[in-house]
Structure 1
Amino acid sequence: MAAAGVTTLRAVLFDVDFTLVKPGADLSPEGYRRLGERHGLTLHPERYAEAREQALGHLQRHPELEHDDEIWIAFTERIIRGMGGDAEGARACAEEMTRAWEHHGNFELFEDTLPVLEELRGYGLKLGLVSNTGRNLEEFVAHHRLDVDAALGSRAHGKTKPDPTIFRAVLDLLDVAPEAAAMVGDSLEDDIEGARAVGMRAFLVDREDR
Structure 2
Amino acid sequence: MLRAVIFDVDFTLSQPGPELGPEAYRRVGLAHGLDLDPGQYEEARLAAMEDLRSHPEFVHDEELWVTFTEDIVRGMGGDAAGARACAADMVRRWEIHENFHLYDDALPVIASLREHRLSIGLISNGQRDLEEFATHHQLRVDCAVGSKAHGRAKPHASIFECALSTLGVTVPEAVMVGDSVKDDIEGARALGMRAILVDRDDLYPGERDRITDLFQLPVALGLTAV
**TM-score, normalized by length of structure 2?**
0.88
User: Which residue, 110, 119, 127 being the options, matches 2:103?
Assistant: 110
How far residue 42 of structure 1 moved from its aligned partner, in angstroms, is: 0.8
Q: Matches of residues 4-83 of structure 1 in structure 2 within 5 Å? A: 8-83=1-76
**1:93-113 CA distance string (max 9 Å, x none):** 000101111111110000111
Within 1, Cα distance between the matches of 2:199 and 2:86? 29
> Which 5+ residue runs of structure 2 have no aligned equivalent?
204-226
Match of 2:87 among 68, 72, 94: 94
**Aligned CA-pair RMSD:** 0.8
Q: Does 1:154 align with 2:147?
A: yes
For 1:117-136, list aligned pairs within 5 A. Answer: 117-136=110-129
SS in 1 for 2:80: coil
Q: Deviations over 1:47-74 (max 9, x none)?
A: 1111011001110110111000001000
SS at match of 1:102: coil
Distance 1:206 1:83 in 2: 27
Mapped partners of 1:86, 1:43: distance in 2: 9
Shift of 1:209: 3.9
Equivalent residue number for residue 144 of structure 1: 137
Does 2:184 align with 1:186? Answer: no
Q: How far off is 1:199 after superposition?
A: 1.5
| 8 Å CA contact 1:16, 1:131 repeated in 2 | yes
Alpha-carbon deviation of 1:207? 2.7
Find the counterpart in structure 1 of residue 156 from structure 2: 163
Q: How many residue pairs are counted as aligned between the two chains?
A: 203
Once the two structures are TM-superposed, the CA of residue 133 in structure 1 deviates from its matched residue by 1.2
Tell me which residue corresponds to 1:205. Answer: 198
CA distance, structure 1, for counterparts of residue 149 and residue 183 of structure 2: 17
Query: What's the secondary structure of 1:88's corresponding residue?
Result: helix
Secondary structure at 1:151's aligned position in 2? strand
One-letter code aligned to 1:164: A
- Percent of aligned positions that are identical: 59
